[in-house]
Structure 1
Amino acid sequence: MEKALFDKYGGFSTVSKIVLSLYDRLLEDDDVGPFFDDVDMPRLIDHQTKFVSSLMGGPASFTDDHIERAHSHMDIDHLHFDKLKAIVSETLADFDVAEDDIKTVLSAFEDRRSLLVEKPNVN
């Protein structure tokens, strides 16, 4: 049986370092950084560590409904989502995550694009 990416790369310890590095990059980005103004960053980083862990086959899990509700008030477009994926890819590569494993994680992000970008109109 093949190890989950979560275990292969060191579990929560490594994932938390990846997420911290990811948010350092996201906050510096002119396109996506403004989404994090006035955000409780420690809380967000905790949630994102669990989310990324779940994408890598770890024990945490997030429902699509939870993800959609958390982003429903944001005006996220395809440019923002593509920028996020690029930054995730760069960050994972800096932590020596194998190319195929990066593609697996990016695919899991891509599977959730419609939850963030193509939100239904709310009246």
Structure 2
Amino acid sequence: MKKSPLLHIALSRLIASLGHGESVVIGDAGLPVPPGVPLIDLALTRGVPGFMVTLETILTEMQVEHHVLADELALHSLHLARQIDALCLPDKRTLSHADFKRMTHSAKAVIRSGEFTPYANIILVAGVVF
């Protein structure tokens, strides 16, 4: 059995398969998933699992080079934007929600949480550990 906090088989496979520069999206319950992009649906019920628990668990195994947020997150969900900032992730980039959704088309996968907070979405771009 694994010793790290992340136990979900599909998520572990996804992270292990990432190459430098490939991206993974963690989305709220309403983020559309582009055709052809695999979905790992964790949403069980409203708020379960939450966005931050999902993000923090993914970060136990994934090396992140930079991350992308929609500008609207800080405008509509400042508390969540501050929680993400407190994680001290490298190189934050922001863009419009429309551009964010376009960027999800090139993701290796979308992970859907049960989050119901507006704009609770992030794109994590894989880095390297060397």
**TM-score of the pair, normalised by structure 2:** 0.30
Give the greater-gyration-radius structure (CA).
1
More helix by percentage: 1
Bigger RCO (CA 8 Å, 6+ sep): 2
More strand by percentage: 2
